[in-house]
Chain A
């Protein structure tokens, strides 16, 4: 086993790839100290020179730090309160189209910024975990109205909690306009039989439809976000959880910020997995999220995914057991679970290989050579074609993680294409740097061809 294996593994899996000098720096600092600094979060390791390069690239994305309300300010987004005009608001076709186009533009900015941060970001593990949770809580920026709320989603619902406690991440996510829109919960309302006489009369006056729950969020909350598909819930629980979250919606279309609408909320007690949830308005949902975050099935589901991300496509069961136990005893501390996994003997075992996904392959090639990307249309098109553009997964399950799903012949050919397109500067706005990655295929001396062969080689494809 190479003397550098531990350092190389940490850099290639716990960051988006080693930059020139990273390995030596890690060796000098020591594995544990390095890891603690990474686990501490994004405030550390901010070399000013690199930071300004990031800022220069990010300055090209004007919507990144704006609220959805600011982004939508000059559009025709309806400002009728959600609870009054009904979920669809009253908007002309032109206004809808305008918002759709604006949304796509903002979506491309946020995706581009993700790529810039992966390549140029100083906070290695934090960026990796933002990517991990953005994929765990996947939303598709092409779905209507998602784009304008995407900056908020990343800045408020994901990044601050990426290394923190899972329950806080989950609560932030459940309250986020992006998830409420993506999984349709903003339109999930109490069925008529769950309403009191007064609410029914009010609804009639507002000419709202009959109403009814939408199960989409409730199901994915349990299946994908927390318990896992065999986590111990059934269809009745899906309906009950959907009732719990009725009324979790937005202020209005022009101000898509979270608001709980009592009038749309299902009255009465709910029963979720044998638990009685007393009628308590928005608090019911908070309670269900807390119980779900603490559930042993959630501990196992998340631990399995983390081990699969960092250690092996088939997660070693003993490590999953230990990570699950650590999750439970630490009350869902993501940081504690990561520490255990990244310091485990399984992490450095040579047989546990991980294939880089397209984004990781691209970022690591640029980082290894000291290259640069502007996160613009060129690089996004490349990632889209390879099947991993940020916030573009077609399903709420996000992008796949295992090698099997990225190694069909066509996909491997795309990976080779990436290497040649990078080396021959065919991706506008994206350049490899001068440093050659370690060559594992000999006999190619021209710099561009040597770089292409090094990136395409199998040893560079695996992390």
Chain B
């Protein structure tokens, strides 16, 4: 019994103190940084549409039921991550981040509700709601509201259409940077269109129209005008190396480097619905994971020593533990979320629910032990330097995970 009453009290008090001061310290240091005019960490949210198989991203190789429950989907080779869990071998580009302990994985993560419809589940996740969707705006837009500043480029989707997650607070979508512009339109024409659009009775239409035309000026100052001739170029596509997500990161880095005041970005891919021929170490999902890992590595490399960054990867739900009849997996429940960045405390987070039939959601899917909103809340907090607005996730109390140091 080495612990005296006095010592116990001290340790307890220190523990409490540490818990209470760490976030405060973070807030004030960031607040000071912001006052000095430094930029907040770039926030990148990556959405894997189609329900990514978390058991392929981070295979629970130490679970004695892993091989017998995953059967033909079980991986034999993985990269080391933490005891009992490996990382998919095609995610090798993440190794430097893993070694620097800047990659966190939240296992058995997802929405607490069971909803196996992609479209509805994506809508609800993007709206940041559980149960029926009622909000017409996205969680990311609400989380950033008031933080973006006046520039339309503060929150940016590197997609052709603005995703629901960014609806509501003036987010902007730029699919290909070269193609962004209005070639052939005179200044007088632009001004006339601005007047025309802003007089539309539909506020969404009039606001968007005004925002689009105003953003053009700012964009052209920084990035130059697009080519004035020829059909729509596919230059961006031709130059593409790596997968779709890696290409979105390339685009992001170019826009960011131009000096446009980008704060938060949304990226997405949609090749995760692996009902057929999912593959194991190689195959269709392995290709998608290679793209994801390459994209994260590019972001990390591209921003290195220039700017802090913070990234979150999530998906609408997971997939069945057992393979289906066509060497793939069907819609399930729990999956993973990844968090990476300069201030991230790497490692494994979340409780492992296990693979016994009794542990599975509805007897077939990995259960959810961490609400994705807790992850999103913490990531937003790291970006904002303070607690996100309450309306980000109405009625939800985030449980602290300690992802950021």
Binding site for B on A (CB under 8 A): 87-88, 184, 187-189, 191, 209-216, 219, 223-224, 229, 235, 238, 246, 353, 355, 378, 381-382, 385-387, 394-395, 397, 403-413, 416-417, 420-421, 423-424, 426-428, 440-441, 443-444, 449, 452-453, 456-458, 461
User: Are the CB atoms of A213 and B325 closer together than 8 Å?
Assistant: yes
- Sample of 16 more A-B contacts, CB < 8 Å, known A189-B325, A452-B185: A184-B275, A214-B276, A216-B273, A385-B160, A395-B270, A407-B204, A408-B161, A410-B173, A411-B161, A413-B182, A426-B229, A441-B193, A453-B189, A453-B192, A458-B200, A461-B205
Measured between C-beta atoms, what is the minimum distance from A347 to chain B in Å?
Answer: 19
User: Are the CB atoms of A412 and B212 closer together than 8 Å?
Assistant: yes
Interface residue B330 (Cβ < 8 Å from any Cβ of A):
yes
User: Are the CB atoms of A215 and B200 closer together than 8 Å?
Assistant: no
Residues of A within 8 A of B152 (CB): 409
Residues of A within 8 A of B277 (CB): 88
* Alpha-carbon distance A435/B189, docked complex (angstroms): 20
* 16 contacting pairs across A/B (C-beta < 8 A): A188-B324, A387-B160, A394-B49, A407-B208, A408-B172, A408-B173, A409-B211, A409-B215, A413-B180, A413-B182, A413-B212, A416-B182, A441-B192, A441-B193, A444-B189, A458-B196
- Closest chain B residue, CB of each to CB of A222: B117
Q: Knowing A410-B161, A420-B182 are in contact, say whether A381-B234 is a contact too (CB < 8 A).
A: yes
* Alpha-carbon distance A110/B186, docked complex (angstroms): 37
Give 3 nearest A-B pairs by CB, closest first: A212-B325, A408-B162, A187-B326
Measured between C-beta atoms, what is the minimum distance from B322 to chain A in Å?
Answer: 8
Per-residue CB proximity of B65-79 to A under 8 Å, as 1/0?
A: 000000010000000
Interface residue B174 (Cβ < 8 Å from any Cβ of A):
yes
User: Are the CB atoms of B116 and A219 closer together than 8 Å?
Assistant: yes
B 332-382 contacts with A by CB, 8 A: 362
User: Are the CB atoms of A385 and B205 closer together than 8 Å?
Assistant: no
User: Are the CB atoms of B189 and A449 closer together than 8 Å?
Assistant: yes
User: Are the CB atoms of B232 and A385 closer together than 8 Å?
Assistant: yes
Residues of B within 8 A of A382 (CB): 231-232
* Alpha-carbon distance A210/B326, docked complex (angstroms): 10
Which among B49, B209, B229, B276 is the interface contact of A412 at CB below 8 angstroms?
B209
* Alpha-carbon distance A259/B184, docked complex (angstroms): 54
Residues of A within 8 A of B161 (CB): 387, 405-406, 408, 410-411
Q: Knowing A394-B270, A411-B162 are in contact, say whether A215-B324 is a contact too (CB < 8 A).
A: yes
Interface residue B216 (Cβ < 8 Å from any Cβ of A):
yes
A212, A406, A457 — which one has the most chain B CB atoms within 10 A of its CB?
A212
User: Are the CB atoms of A409 and B192 closer together than 8 Å?
Assistant: no
Residues of A within 8 A of B173 (CB): 408-411
- Closest chain A residue, CB of each to CB of B115: A229
Q: Would you call the interface of chain B mostly helix, strand, loop, or mixed?
A: loop
Which among B171, B192, B230, B326 is the interface contact of A408 at CB below 8 angstroms?
B171
* Alpha-carbon distance A270/B243, docked complex (angstroms): 43
* Alpha-carbon distance A261/B49, docked complex (angstroms): 33
- Closest chain B residue, CB of each to CB of A213: B325
* Alpha-carbon distance A150/B157, docked complex (angstroms): 32
Measured between C-beta atoms, what is the minimum distance from B5 to chain A in Å?
Answer: 55
Residues of A within 8 A of B327 (CB): 209
User: Are the CB atoms of A403 and B205 closer together than 8 Å?
Assistant: yes
* Alpha-carbon distance A147/B162, docked complex (angstroms): 29
Interface residue B8 (Cβ < 8 Å from any Cβ of A):
no
User: Are the CB atoms of B325 and A188 closer together than 8 Å?
Assistant: yes
B 208-227 contacts with A by CB, 8 A: 208-209, 211-213, 215-216
User: Are the CB atoms of A412 and B208 closer together than 8 Å?
Assistant: yes
Which among B172, B184, B186 is the interface contact of A421 at CB below 8 angstroms?
B184
A394, A413, A443, A456 — which one has the most chain B CB atoms within 10 A of its CB?
A413
Residues of A within 8 A of B183 (CB): 417, 420
User: Are the CB atoms of A191 and B325 closer together than 8 Å?
Assistant: yes
Residues of A within 8 A of B324 (CB): 188, 212-215
* Alpha-carbon distance A229/B123, docked complex (angstroms): 13
Residues of A within 8 A of B196 (CB): 440-441, 457-458
- Closest chain B residue, CB of each to CB of A443: B192
- Closest chain B residue, CB of each to CB of A87: B326
* Alpha-carbon distance A353/B205, docked complex (angstroms): 12
Which among B162, B186, B270 is the interface contact of A410 at CB below 8 angstroms?
B162
User: Are the CB atoms of A403 and B204 closer together than 8 Å?
Assistant: yes
* Alpha-carbon distance A68/B348, docked complex (angstroms): 50
Measured between C-beta atoms, what is the minimum distance from A414 to chain B in Å?
Answer: 8
User: Are the CB atoms of B160 and A426 closer together than 8 Å?
Assistant: no
Interface residue B120 (Cβ < 8 Å from any Cβ of A):
yes
Per-residue CB proximity of B159-202 to A under 8 Å, as 1/0?
A: 01110000100111111000111111110010011001101101
User: Are the CB atoms of B162 and A421 closer together than 8 Å?
Assistant: no
- Closest chain A residue, CB of each to CB of B320: A215
User: Are the CB atoms of B276 and A184 closer together than 8 Å?
Assistant: yes
User: Are the CB atoms of A416 and B185 closer together than 8 Å?
Assistant: yes
Interface residue B25 (Cβ < 8 Å from any Cβ of A):
no
B230, B275, B326, B327 — which one has the most chain A CB atoms within 10 A of its CB?
B326
* Alpha-carbon distance A355/B270, docked complex (angstroms): 26
Interface residue B396 (Cβ < 8 Å from any Cβ of A):
no
Q: Knowing A403-B204, A410-B162 are in contact, say whether A214-B172 is a contact too (CB < 8 A).
A: no
* Alpha-carbon distance A404/B164, docked complex (angstroms): 10
B189, B204, B234, B277 — which one has the most chain A CB atoms within 10 A of its CB?
B189
Residues of B within 8 A of A223 (CB): 117, 119
- Closest chain A residue, CB of each to CB of B276: A184
Interface residue B290 (Cβ < 8 Å from any Cβ of A):
no
Residues of B within 8 A of A386 (CB): 160
Residues of B within 8 A of A421 (CB): 184, 231-232
Residues of A within 8 A of B209 (CB): 409, 412, 458
Measured between C-beta atoms, what is the minimum distance from B132 to chain A in Å?
Answer: 9
User: Are the CB atoms of B117 and A229 closer together than 8 Å?
Assistant: yes
* Alpha-carbon distance A417/B230, docked complex (angstroms): 13
- Closest chain B residue, CB of each to CB of A382: B232
* Alpha-carbon distance A405/B158, docked complex (angstroms): 16
Residues of B within 8 A of A440 (CB): 196
* Alpha-carbon distance A453/B325, docked complex (angstroms): 55
* Alpha-carbon distance A353/B231, docked complex (angstroms): 32
User: Are the CB atoms of A420 and B208 closer together than 8 Å?
Assistant: no
Interface residue B323 (Cβ < 8 Å from any Cβ of A):
yes
* Alpha-carbon distance A215/B276, docked complex (angstroms): 11
- Closest chain A residue, CB of each to CB of B174: A410
- Closest chain A residue, CB of each to CB of B325: A212
* Alpha-carbon distance A235/B213, docked complex (angstroms): 47
Residues of A within 8 A of B205 (CB): 355, 403, 407, 412, 458, 461
* Alpha-carbon distance A223/B116, docked complex (angstroms): 10
Q: Knowing A381-B232, A404-B136, A409-B172 are in contact, say whether A417-B182 is a contact too (CB < 8 A).
A: yes
User: Are the CB atoms of A408 and B167 closer together than 8 Å?
Assistant: yes
Interface residue B59 (Cβ < 8 Å from any Cβ of A):
no
User: Are the CB atoms of A385 and B179 closer together than 8 Å?
Assistant: yes
Residues of A within 8 A of B117 (CB): 219, 223, 229
Residues of B within 8 A of A423 (CB): 184
